[in-house]
Every structure is written in C-alpha cells, then in structure tokens.
C-alpha cells in the first residue's frame, strides 16, 4: 500500500489544550507546521445526541479507567480540539504558590501569557442568569452558612446555557481549541491532518526523524526537524514508553496526578431544572487551603441517574424527580500519584492510581461540607456518593456521616485532569522535560501537554496547559527561525 509522505519543519501530535496552542505559535512564527490528530473534526450541529457524542468524541466511550481500589473513571476526549471540545470550559490560572513550587518560569513571566490565552479563548465570568437552578440552589446554601459561592470563568461566546458542555456545545458557544487556536494555526499556514493516528517514531541513528501511523486511507509518514508530542497525560507517556524513548530519568509514566472527584446530588421539593443553564457554573473555594474545590456538575438524565442508588419503583420515583435534582462535585488536590504504561490486549494505555488515605479523608470532609450546603439550601435528601452513608436527609444524618470511619473504597471516583506523567524540571535525573518542555534526552523531541505539569494544581488545568505550551512553542520557534 502507498505510504502518504509529508514533510515539514515541526510536527505536533494532538490538537488539545497543548497541541493546538503549540501549533498556532509555531505557525504564527512562520515555521512550516503539521498538526496530526487521531480524532475527527466536528461541527456544532454534530453535538445533539449524548450517546453519539460519547462514542465519537471520547476515547473508549468515555470509559477509560485507572485501576486501583476503587478504580477511577478518567474520561478523555478524542477529536480536533482534544478534550477541550468536551470539557466544561471552566478557566483558572495555576495558583502562584503552585507555579513557584515548579522552580521554573515564575508567575510574573507567565502572567502576560495567561492574559493572552484568556483573551484568545474569551474566558469570561458568566452572567448570573446563565447559572440556572444548579447554581441558584448552592448559592442559597452558601448564603445561609456564610460560605461564598461564586460564578466561574468560562471560555464561551454567546453561551445559551444549553447544559450539555461535556458532550460538545450544540450552539458552538464553547471556545474550545477547534474554534480558536486550531483555526489560528491554519490561518497562519499550518496543515491539519485529522483522523491520523500516530503509532511509531521514525528513528535515524539517535535522532527522531519523524512519525508513522495510519489514517482512513492507509499508512502515512511525516518527516520533520522537530517533533512535539501533545497527546495528553495518558497517551504521551504510553507512546514514549512503548518506544523506550526519553526515559533516562525512569520518570516517564510516573507521577500521575488526577484531581480525584466525586459527585453529590441533592433532591429538593422545588423545581430546579438544573439541566437549563451552565452545568459547571459555580464554585466554592472556601476549603481550598485543605486542597478541596467544589464545582457544579449537572449532566443529562442518563449519566446522572446511572450514579444514583435504588432500584425498581423507588428508582423510578427518583428518576421522575430529575427536574428537582441539583449536583456538584468535590475535587481533591491529590497527594497520591499513580502511573501509566503502554496498554496490552488492544488497550491504548494502562493506568494505575491508588487514592491515599489522606485524600480519602479530604474527600469525606468535602462531601460533608457540600451536603451541609445543600441541606442549608433546603434539600430534602442528599445522595452523598459515600458508600457507608449514601443518603443524608437531616443534620443528625450528616453528623453520623461525618463520624463514620473512612476507607478509600467508600467512594465512586471520577477524574478529569490527568497530569504529571512527563514532568518538567531542571534535573534530568528526576524529570522528563526541561522548563522549555524539551526532553532532557532528545534534542528535537518536545512534550507540550498536561503531562508536563509536575504537581496537582488544585484547579482545572486547561488554561495552564495552554500557557505553558504558548511559552515553550514560542521559545522553540525562536530557535528554529
């Protein structure tokens, strides 16, 4: 079969938060750049059916797992735009103390880049009327207890609050990478090859000369002077490990942080209609010094009801109360780390993550605080997601829940922010890439995605990933030109 061959100066693999920004920066600096993307391009009109969106825009139907007790569901996007196409569009900068702990570029250097990223993706605080019932209920609880419940920043334009962020925005309001930095890269002359899955490095001596893979029409090859991997914190380390590359430190695939999260659902007597409005509209950072962040998370009936307890008629009654439910998540800035390695038996990767006892206690505390907020807002039942006390319906039940001993297996965990598996650092013995995001072991190989963030951030990471990619790709472009 004929191999389609392309040549360029820089090839970027992946078009998510890291890859799209890297591609745009390189192309805008006049570097001949190709963007390779496993997933396909989607229009807003494609985002109408939840199940169909999951099949087409998520890896393995959104069912990627990290093994541990309990296992953790870690959904990952696959599309032009990467996971930014299906994310909740919440925008945070890395907190200054986390940036300082990296020991690399300081906050003052990153600040103008954060600003540029936020301007280019239109990160704005949402109008109150878009926060919907889900935000209203939690805010009422916060007002009653003196806890500040605030609107989040989102990268959107003309958001209509359709409540479907995690399945692609049917209005095209989300300013994900496919609507911002990918078009910017193309306008500056980059070439985008969607539905191109990279499978191998092309090696010439000790140098990487390009990449090979398959697309719809057969095998392809891209030859380039510089290779930028931006496949995300699961795929990038698995790919490097499979080829035994860039791992002089032995740290590729180690140091996996995920921000473990759990959901709490509240049932009220009033109509909440939480599916109208932005699902992740509000947040509570009152307990951030304990590594706990609360954010709204309402989802369509299928995914939400599947997580609630009960069976038979009892469950039918609960399902019928969908428009009286509200939901938020508790997210932990994790102290434990897991690992990723190449998958076997056709799996794209294998990940392992064990929640630590300290993080389990933080999760328990966060769930208790969120349940308290919902009770204060007038909820009649709170589904805690904490297995020993799954329902709390009064302050006494909350006290019982708080007094209950905590095991790591007591939670249903999800995680949306895998980080750290090719961590950046100054020391080639303990990190995979330097602060310019170049692999310590390979002159022309770079990693510009979530893998490089060395510690749990405690906040949603997309803006930080974009900012680090912007800095590194501009430095790289400077070297190339």
Q: Which two tokens stand for residue 403?
A: 């007094």
Q: Which is nearer to ligand FAD, 292 or 465 (CB)?
A: 465
Dihedral angle sign, alpha carbons of residues 20, 224, 33, 220: negative
The binding site for ligand FAD (CB under 6 A) comprises 13-19, 36-39, 75-79, 82-84, 86-90, 166, 197-198, 230-233, 235, 280, 416-417, 449-450, 460-462, 465
| Cβ atoms 264, 374 nearer than 8 A | yes
Tell me the C-alpha distance between 456 and 468, whole Å. Answer: 15
Least distance to ligand FAD, CB of residue 21, Å:
8
Least distance to ligand FAD, CB of residue 395, Å:
32
Least distance to ligand FAD, CB of residue 1, Å:
19
* Token pair 């702990």 in the structure block, residue: 101
Least distance to ligand FAD, CB of residue 176, Å:
9
Dihedral angle sign, alpha carbons of residues 138, 139, 142, 148: positive
> What letters, b where the CB count within 10 A reaches 16 and e where it falls short, cover 334-369?
bebbbbbbbeeeeebbbbbbbbeeebbebbbbbbbb
Q: Which is nearer to ligand FAD, 68 or 279 (CB)?
A: 279
Q: What is the DSSP string of 207-227?
A: EEEEEEEEETTEEEEEEEEEE
Tell me the C-alpha distance between 479 and 319, whole Å. Answer: 58
Q: Which is nearer to ligand FAD, 210 or 461 (CB)?
A: 461
Q: Which is nearer to ligand FAD, 113 or 233 (CB)?
A: 233
Q: Give me the half-sphere count of Cα atoms (radius 13 Å) on the Cβ side of residue 370.
A: 35
| Cβ atoms 18, 230 nearer than 8 A | yes
Active-site choice (196, 364, 417, 455): 417
Would you call 254 helix, strand, or coil by DSSP? coil
Tell me the C-alpha distance between 144 and 146, whole Å. Answer: 6
Q: Which is nearer to ligand FAD, 74 or 389 (CB)?
A: 74
**Segments in 231-311 forming alpha helices (H):** 232-242, 301-305
Least distance to ligand FAD, CB of residue 406, Å:
26
Least distance to ligand FAD, CB of residue 154, Å:
8
Which residues does residue 5 pair with via DSSP β-bridges, in sequence order?
221
Tell me the C-alpha distance between 134 and 277, whole Å. Answer: 8
Tell me the C-alpha distance between 168 and 195, whole Å. Answer: 18
| Cβ atoms 185, 24 nearer than 8 A | yes
Measuring CA to CA, how many Å separate 133 from each of 96, 158, 200, 281?
33, 19, 49, 10
Least distance to ligand FAD, CB of residue 136, Å:
20
Q: Which is nearer to ligand FAD, 301 or 395 (CB)?
A: 301
Tell me, yes or no, if 455 is annotated catalytic: no
Least distance to ligand FAD, CB of residue 22, Å:
9
Q: Which is nearer to ligand FAD, 247 or 421 (CB)?
A: 421
Q: Which is nearer to ligand FAD, 89 or 408 (CB)?
A: 89
Q: Which residue is nearest to ligand FAD (CB)?
A: 16
Q: Indicate which residues carry an active-site annotation.
A: 417
């Amino acid at each position: 079969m004929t191999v389609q061959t392309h040549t360029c100066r820089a090839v970027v693999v992946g078009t998510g938060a890291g890859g799209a920004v890297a591609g745009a920066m390189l192309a805008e600096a006049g570097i001949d750049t190709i963007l390779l993307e496993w997933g396909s391009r989607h229009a807003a009109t494609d985002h109408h059916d939840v199940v169909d969106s999951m099949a087409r825009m998520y890896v393995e139907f959104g069912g990627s797992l990290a093994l541990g007790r309990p296992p953790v569901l870690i959904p990952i996007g696959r599309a032009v735009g990467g996971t930014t196409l299906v994310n909740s569009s919440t925008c945070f900068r890395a907190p200054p103390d986390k940036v300082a702990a990296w020991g690399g570029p300081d906050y003052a250097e990153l600040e103008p880049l954060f600003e540029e990223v936020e301007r280019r993706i239109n990160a704005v605080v949402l109008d109150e009327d878009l926060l919907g019932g889900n935000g209203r209920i939690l805010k009422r609880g916060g007002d009653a207890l003196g806890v500040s419940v605030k609107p989040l920043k989102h990268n959107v334009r003309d958001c209509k609050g359709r409540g479907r962020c995690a399945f692609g925005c049917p209005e095209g309001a989300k300013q994900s990478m496919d609507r911002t930095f990918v078009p910017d890269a193309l306008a500056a002359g980059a070439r985008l090859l969607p539905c191109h899955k990279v499978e191998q490095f092309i090696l010439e001596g000790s140098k990487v000369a390009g990449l090979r893979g398959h697309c719809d029409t057969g095998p392809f090859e891209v030859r380039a002077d510089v290779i930028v991997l931006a496949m995300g914190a699961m795929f990038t380390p698995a790919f490097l490990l499979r080829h035994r590359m860039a791992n002089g430190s032995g740290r590729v695939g180690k140091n996996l942080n995920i921000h473990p999260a759990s959901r709490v659902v509240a049932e009220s007597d009033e109509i909440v209609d939480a599916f109208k409005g932005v699902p992740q509209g509000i947040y509570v950072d009152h307990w951030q010094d304990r590594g706990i962040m609360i954010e709204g998370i309402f989802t369509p009936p299928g995914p939400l009801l599947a997580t609630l307890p009960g069976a038979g008629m009892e469950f039918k009654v609960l399902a019928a109360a969908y428009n009286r439910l509200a939901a938020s998540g508790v997210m932990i800035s994790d102290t434990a780390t897991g690992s990723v390695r190449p998958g076997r038996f056709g799996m794209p990767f294998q990940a392992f993550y064990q929640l630590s006892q300290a993080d389990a206690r933080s999760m328990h505390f966060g769930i208790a605080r969120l349940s308290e907020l919902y009770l204060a807002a007038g909820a009649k039942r709170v589904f805690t997601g904490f297995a020993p006390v799954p329902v709390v319906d009064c302050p006494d039940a909350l006290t019982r829940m708080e007094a209950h001993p905590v095991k790591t297996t007591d939670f249903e965990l999800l995680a949306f922010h895998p980080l750290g598996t090719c961590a950046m650092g100054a020391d080639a013995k303990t990190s995979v890439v330097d602060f310019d995001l170049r692999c310590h072991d390979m002159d022309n190989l770079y990693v510009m995605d979530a893998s490089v963030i060395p510690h749990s951030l405690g906040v949603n990471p997309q803006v930080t990933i974009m900012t680090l990619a912007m800095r590194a790709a501009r430095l790289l472009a400077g070297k190339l030109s």
